[in-house]
Amino acid sequence: MQVIILPSARDVALYAADCVVDVIDARTNPVLGLATGSTPIALYKELVGRYQSKQVSFRHTTSFNLDEYIGIADSHEQSYRTFMNRHLFDAIDIIATNTHVPLAESQDAGTLKKSAQDYEASIQQAGGIDLQILGIGLNGHIGFNEPTSSFASRTRIKTLSESTVVANKRFFKDGEFQPHLALTMGIGTILDSRAVLLMATGKAKAEAVKAMIEGPLSAMCPASALQLHETATIVLDEEAASLLALKEYYQWCEQKRQQLHEGNVS
């Protein structure tokens, strides 16, 4: 794991935007894996700004989102499709049909299973994901892979944990139906990405971040599965990094990595 610790949440967003643009510049038909939630909003804002100032085009980019709530329409105010359209897709030149969010409106298990299989097949057909953007839940989830999810899991129906339902309650009106099920890429699906970039900001994430980076490889912290990925970058602000035991070491490694990049091996 490459652990990058930056002064602020804004620096985290800028760093992630640079990584996304690097992938777009390097590939003819880049494939991005995208996340929703509060953390990547600043990244998407930055990408929209760079698109508007003509620093990047998404014309040839395909995207796959991690997850979607089961049982609400794409057009629902709180669907992840609506979130992505609002924060990114409608403001850039990506071709709408090249954006994928799991189709999860149905309440029929058979239809949802087929939708999950089709999602996996679409990722394969696109050539796999070049860069998967991730956030982390308070309980260590990635996508909606809650604690005890299999590290080999693929896109499937997942029951949300109480902690996730409570954390996301703020987005739903009082008395409004709040889904307790989601269709999510599996941990195995995420690990297949050629590179992953997990962003975490704020003190509330510090425990989960510590468990992910320094804890044992454990299904109790799904994000710890990223320890198995060859090209996983974890980019943190100071608060999210505050409980790391080896914080100074990660900063030292980053200095050395930059020196190596400049050809200096001293």
- Minimum distance from residue 201 beta carbon to ligand F6R (Å): 8
Select the residue interacting with ligand F6R from 135, 140, 179, 222 (CB under 6 A): 135
**Residue whose CB is nearest to ligand F6R in the complex, by number:** 135
- What is the Cα–Cα distance from 94 to 111, expressed in whole angstroms? 28
Q: Which two tokens stand for residue 65?
A: 């989102």
Q: Please, what sign has the CA dihedral across residues 92, 28, 195, 6? A: negative
- What is the Cα–Cα distance from 118 to 122, expressed in whole angstroms? 6
Query: Cβ distance 138 to 167 under 8 Å?
Result: yes
* Residues labelled catalytic: 67, 139, 141, 146
What is the pairing mode between strands 181-184 and 67-69?
antiparallel
What is the pairing mode between strands 156-159 and 232-237?
unpaired
Nearer to ligand F6R, 242 or 251 (CB): 242
Stretch that binds ligand F6R, among 101-109, 134-142, 155-163, 172-180 (CB under 6 A): 134-142
- Minimum distance from residue 70 beta carbon to ligand F6R (Å): 14
Select the residue interacting with ligand F6R from 30, 33, 102, 137 (CB under 6 A): 137
Backbone angles phi, psi at 203, to 5 degrees: -60, -35
- Minimum distance from residue 60 beta carbon to ligand F6R (Å): 24
Stretch that binds ligand F6R, among 16-24, 53-61, 136-144, 243-251 (CB under 6 A): 136-144
Stretch that binds ligand F6R, among 10-18, 42-50, 130-138, 240-248 (CB under 6 A): 130-138
Under rule CB under 6 A, residue 142 binds ligand F6R: yes
Q: How far is CA 208 from CA 2, 80, 185, 193, 241, in A?
A: 17, 23, 20, 22, 10
Query: Cβ distance 223 to 159 under 8 Å?
Result: no
Residues linked to residue 156 through DSSP beta bridges, in sequence order: 184
Q: DSSP state, 257?
A: H
Nearer to ligand F6R, 30 or 33 (CB): 33
Total residues contacting ligand F6R by CB under 6 A comes to 13
Under rule CB under 6 A, residue 16 binds ligand F6R: no
- Minimum distance from residue 214 beta carbon to ligand F6R (Å): 19
Select the residue interacting with ligand F6R from 50, 81, 141, 229 (CB under 6 A): 141
Please compute Rg for the chain using Cα positions: 18
Query: Cβ distance 240 to 205 under 8 Å?
Result: yes
Under rule CB under 6 A, residue 143 binds ligand F6R: yes
Contacts to ligand F6R from residues 32-91, by CB under 6 A: 35-39, 66-67
Nearer to ligand F6R, 19 or 35 (CB): 35
Query: Cβ distance 229 to 166 under 8 Å?
Result: no
The residue ranges that bind ligand F6R (CB under 6 A) are 35-39, 66-67, 135-137, 141-143
